[in-house]
Structure 1
Amino acid sequence: MTYEKAVEIQLEICDRFFFNRKNREVFAGDFEDEPEPSDLVYDIFGEVFAVNVINSLEGAYVIELMSQNDDLYITPIIEFFGLNKTDIVSTKSEKFELQVRKRPLEIGCSIGPLVENWGGTLGCFVKDIDDGNNYILSNHHVLFSDAGNKDNFIVQPSTSNGGKKEDAIGLFVRSIRPDPSGVNNFDAALAGPISIEMQKNIPSVGSPIMGVKSPTIGMKVYKVGIKTGKTFGVIRSINSGLKVEDDNGVILDYQDQIVISGTKEDFSTPDFFSQAGDSGSVVLEYGTNMLVGLHFCGNGTLYSCSNKIDPLFSKLRVSL
């Protein structure tokens, strides 16, 4: 389909079925008759939480239906709208939700400075080797504010997601700030100490981070971030040199970085790994939940970049 045709169908779907809140009266005789085609379609959309127009691998535009069902029955929709089988696809995914207050704190939730209108992702919980306290790990560019250490309260959720002072979980503690005049290895920061309850199990996984591991080329990985949720990818490089442009247009040089190609859960079909807002999320080996990296940038399409976690932990003097 052309983009214009796909958008036309998407709007009709939303208007007639997806956003339709009608309550149809049910009569006893209804159960003796075959359901109307429109009723079948209406029932199917009860399982759908997103209707998208996406670009397929073949270059055409298709309608994507997102649900938690890995085998969504879409034949009645194809027939009702007179579509080809290739015009519509279903994708299994977790439901979207607002970045709400999370208590206990959990990996992958929204965080940011109280005095700034930005935020990112809580990567994981770490323990300071020197004082033994618990802290959260994220990026410098997520947690830092010109307010400095003393008054830089970190809130969950971030102010951009409605966070207020009563949502403070700790203070900005220290970071490894990228240097525009040098070559960098890290973009990382700590906040805390954390005295409230922490949920250390990874959302949608149900088990904690199991340890720290060095990345390898070809390793299958995933992350949980506030923008794109749980996504998957394959490590394509583990010693990359990068030039990264920050929000002010300053070019920062990085060395010894992990580059990840985003994929769907099959680890072969290309897809996004991260988008803006996912900064600070941790990268974990698929199947083992071993921690390998801290995500800090991407190009908005298939490729994302992460700091190596082992040398980062050494630099920050923290452990799991």
Structure 2
Amino acid sequence: MARSSARDTQNKRYFGLEVPFNAAMPGGRVRDFCEFSERRMEFFKHTIEESSLSTRSMDRLAKVARTVAMNQKLFDQKDVIQGVESPMVGMKVMKYGINSRLTHGMVDGIGGSFELDYSDYGDQKRWIDGIRIVVDPDLPESEISLSGDSGSVWINRATSKAVALHFAGEDGLGPTAEYALAQSMPRVFSLLGVGII
């Protein structure tokens, strides 16, 4: 029920606009779709004025905020994300990805460096730091990461705190290679110079 609710919400929000999901919002229209309270809009404007972030970075931040807000509705809880904490090996986590939907995982590596091939997208192979999340053996799923899931927030199931921002997945080498890659949420917040209101 929660999965179709999230899909229905996005279908209504983007009906007739050729925008399939939050991450695909056109940059110049992000604020049209991201509903901010008056207090949060003032904070957002202040952050833009006081930071060295580009407008594109602020749009991306708003998209992440939109996804977090959807996750709160999705899990049928008033306040799903209770803060931010650092990931730890063995931590049980969950996320809602646009294509993989609700998935569960377990952090099995932090501080790693992973080679990603962006040559199909006009770039090159790059080494990117991050954390690795594998299938939770207690809640096994065939897929925990699919194309379109980037920007999903991994949440510690025990504390409801955001621990990582999803950015990539497995390399397709077989069923034992199922994994997700993410950036530590405290690191993301630090690089962006933002925090939870």
Normalising by structure 2, we get a TM-score of 0.66
Amino acid at match of 1:262: V
Shift of 1:175: 3.0
Amino acid in the other structure paired with 1:100: N
Residues 92 and 136 of structure 2 are in contact (CA less than 8 Å); yes or no, is this contact kept in structure 1? no
In the alignment of these two chains, the number of paired residues is 159
Q: Quick one: distance in 2 between partners of 1:189 and 1:114?
A: 10
- Distance of 1:199 and 1:295 partners within structure 2: 16
CA distance in 2, matches of 1:232, 1:302: 12
- Matches of 2:95 and 2:156 in 1, distance apart? 9
> How many angstroms does 1:94 deviate by?
4.2
* Residues 212 and 291 in structure 1, CA contact (< 8 A), matched pair in contact too: yes
Higher strand fraction (1 or 2): 1
- Structure 1 distance, partners of 2:70, 2:181, is 26
CA–CA distance in 1 between the matches of 2:104 and 2:162? 14
* Correspondence 1:315 to 2:191: yes
Q: Deviations over 1:141-169 (max 9, x none)?
A: xxxxxxxx9xxxxxxxxxxxxxxxxxxxx
Q: 2:152 aligns with which of 253, 264, 281?
A: 281
Q: Which runs of 5+ in 1 are unaligned?
A: 1-67, 69-92, 104-108, 116-121, 135-148, 150-171, 177-187
2:110 is the counterpart of 1:228: no
Structure of higher CA gyration radius: 1
Establish whether residue 133 from structure 1 lines up as the match of residue 44 from structure 2: yes
The structure 1 residue matched to 2:122, chosen from 248, 253, 261, is: 248
Please give the residue correspondences for 1:37-186 in structure 2 after superposition, counting only pairs within 5 Å: 94-95=3-4, 97=7, 99-102=10-13, 110-114=22-26, 132-133=43-44, 173-175=55-57
CA distance in 2, matches of 1:190, 1:271: 30
Alpha-carbon offset, residue 263 of structure 1: 3.7
Deviations 1:152-198 (A, max 9, x none): xxxxxxxxxxxxxxxxxxxx82439xxxxxxxxxxx93248x9xxx6
Listed one character per residue, the Cα deviations across residues 273-320 of structure 1 (whole Å, up to 9, x for unaligned) are 110011111110013210000000012561110001112101101112
Counterparts in 2 of 1:102 and 1:289: CA distance versus 1, 3 Å? farther
- Structure 2 gap segments, 5+ residues each: 15-20, 28-32, 46-52
**CA drift at 1:222:** 0.4
* C-alpha contact (below 8 Å) 2:169/2:180 kept by paired residues: yes
Secondary structure of 2:95's counterpart equals: strand
Q: RCO greater where, 1 or 2, for CA within 8 Å and sep 6 or more?
A: 2
Find the residue that maps to 2:186 and give its secondary structure: helix
Structure 2 residue corresponding to 1:212, chosen from 77, 84, 103: 84
Corresponding position of 2:134: 261
Contact persistence 2:91–2:106 (CA under 8 A): yes
Q: Distance in 1 between matches of 2:134 and 2:75?
A: 22
Q: 1:253 to 1:175 in 2, by over 3 A?
A: farther
TM-superposed CA distance for 1:225, in Å, is: 1.4
What is the match of residue 306 of structure 1? 182
Aligned with 1:311: secondary structure? helix
Partner of 1:189: 60
Structure holding more helix per residue: 2
Report the RMSD for the aligned CA atoms in angstroms: 3.7
How far is 1:113 from its partner? 4.3
SS of corresponding position for 2:115: strand
Is the Cα contact below 8 Å between 1:263 and 1:272 reproduced in 2? no
Give the aligned residue type for 1:296.
F
Q: CA deviation at 1:199?
A: 6.1
Identity %: 27
Question: Structure 2 vs 1, CA of residues 214 and 225 (structure 1 numbering), >3 Å: closer, same or farther?
Answer: same
Q: Could you say if the C-alpha distance between residues 173 and 270 of structure 1 is closer, same or farther in structure 2, counting changes exceeding 3 Å?
A: same
How far apart in 1 are the matches of 2:108 and 2:94? 14
- Give the Cα–Cα distance (whole angstroms) in 1 for the partners of residues 135 and 44 of structure 2: 35
Distance 1:287 1:217 in 2: 14
